[in-house]
Amino acid sequence: MPQLIAPDVRVHASFLAAMDEARAEGHGGPDDDSTAGLSLRAYGGTWQDPTVFAQYVARMRLTHGPRSILQYDVECTTLWYVDGDAYLGRLAIRHRLTEAWLRDGHIGYDVRPGARGRGHATAMLRAALPLAARLGIDPALITCDTDNAASRRVIEACGGVRDETGEDDGVLRYRAPTGTGSHTGRTLPTVGKG
């Protein structure tokens, strides 16, 4: 049964196949600032080496510091969604928001191209909301591009309620409850300093 786990070297072969799918979809070009794109540019030619992949996994398991090519300025937990040794996707929970992260929100996720359309994104997000609650995030800010109907459906299926302020540069903002005591009528999370 699929589950969220800390990044793990045991999914090496499947992860490489997922990155090949992402590359075939157009990720990794110089203008691609997605997590897959940035990762492909930074590691795409070296991931095949198990030692390099183990180093990458170790960096992804950190919650702060130079944990990835994104160089988060806030604590962030990265989880991979796997079924046995099969890598299906990744999810990131940013523990707080700065002005720079308001566009992306607390939780970001993506499913590998070959595993889309099977409910994995909804299951990942649903499993992540209680984890966000344990980090003191309630409600969680989750965003998607205005033209990403699939992601809108995922967020709404997980209880996300559209923010009253509407769109911001082509981005829809949602508040999603993370715990049993949460309610989406609250204002958006405040931005943390620095």
Give the pLDDT confidence score for residue 104 in this predicted structure.
85
Contact 107, 178 (CB under 8 A): no
Which one has a higher pLDDT value, 71 or 155?
155
For residues 26-34, average pLDDT: 88
Other C-beta atoms closer than 10 Å to the C-beta of 194 total 7
% of the chain at pLDDT higher than 90: 62
Residue 185 has pLDDT above 60, yes or no: no
Task: Tell me which H or E stretch contains 185.
Answer: none
